[in-house]
Amino acid sequence: MKYKRLSILLITIAGLATILLVCLLILKGQSPFWDNTVYSEKYSENSDSSSKSDGDNDKVGEDNGLLVSHYIDVGQGDSVFIELPNGECMLIDAGEDRDAKAVLDCIDGLGYTYIDYLVVTHPHADHIGGMETVLNTYEIGQMFMPKTDCDTKTYESLLETVADKDMSITQAKAGVSILDEGNLTATIISPRYEYADMNNMSAVIMLSYAETSFLYMGDAETDAEYDIEYDVSCDVVKVGHHGSETSSSKKFIKRTGADYAIISVGEGNEYGHPSNDVIKLWEKHGAKVYRTDKCGTVTVQSDGNKVEIRG
């Protein structure tokens, strides 16, 4: 009898312990883990409000089998608008505030009113200056931006606009998938670490469509290039940091094996971009170089098999 009571007591204790363990596991499972993907807890609550399906009725993009990448001439700055073959679209950076019109003209001219994926590569004004105008003009699906401690007025003002609109920001860092639909993928492949230099914090994107791929470097410099552990072989590269010699190391150029190298740069800019040595290095390794200061907006398209420069 004594043993029976002891057994019941032990079974009861074991049962309670199991229930406690299950409760703990459930609680753990419900924790948001937002810090892996979402930049700011403050903005994360409404992340569902900007679902890409919201814009389905507004999109003009059609599933026409073409990916078209527009390297917009925004003077000294960066902005790329990409029409995806699934009918969606992506905007990477928006140039300086004064050049926002060029960005809007491109997007409006193509008939888009909804941007499915918005990427802010890093907080420098020549990439984010026009971003507030973009946010105030179009509906946005998902927004990606690296987490930095930048404290410029332009950056803080952008964050305020994002907060005002109750938008969420997904932290851009190596390994974050923007889009994954079988033969159409967009992945952020850098920054892998935290860098003191804001250029190296740039979100670097590899966009692949069937047999073709496009690499967008933002202003990433050689340190970040060196740290990228993904396959960077591509057909088209948006050259890092406006063709500056701080980027495009020989080793990295070789790794890309790119056929086309696009440099987004302003005519007669005060930084002396792009570097002639960098241009020569890309050419030496088999890339045709196109510059927005010479060509205006450069447009490249892919049908999944081959890549062509338009116009």
Judged by beta carbon, residue 83 or residue 219, the one nearer Zn ion is 219
> In this complex, which beta carbon is closest to Zn ion, that of residue 122 or of residue 173?
122
Closer to Zn ion by Cβ: residue 84 or 92: 92
Per CB under 5 A, residues contacting Zn ion are: 126, 219
CB of residue 27 to Zn ion, shortest distance in Å = 45
Q: How far is the CB of 273 from Zn ion (least distance, A)?
A: 9
CB of 136 to Zn ion, least distance (A): 22
SS3 25: helix
Q: Where are the beta strands (DSSP E) in 161-264?
A: 169-171, 177-181, 184-190, 204-209, 212-216, 236-238, 260-263
- From CA 289, how far away is CA 72, in angstroms rounded? 15
99 vs 126, which CB is nearer to Zn ion?
A: 126
Beta-sheet pairing, 67-71 with 298-302: antiparallel
Contact, 224 vs 202, CB < 8 A? Answer: yes
Helices (H), the chain: 2-30, 41-44, 100-110, 125-128, 131-137, 153-164, 222-227, 250-256, 276-284, 292-295
Q: How far is the CB of 240 from Zn ion (least distance, A)?
A: 9
Residue 34 vs 271, nearer CB to Zn ion? 271
Kindly state the smallest distance separating residue 271's Cβ from Zn ion, in Å.
Answer: 9
Closest contact distance (angstroms) between CB of 71 and Zn ion is 13
Bridge partners (DSSP) of residue 70 are 81, 299
Residue 88 or 219 having the CB closest to Zn ion: 219
Helix (H) or strand (E) holding 80: strand 80-83
Secondary structure class of 249 (helix, strand, coil)? coil
Number of other CB atoms surrounding residue 197 within 10 Å: 14
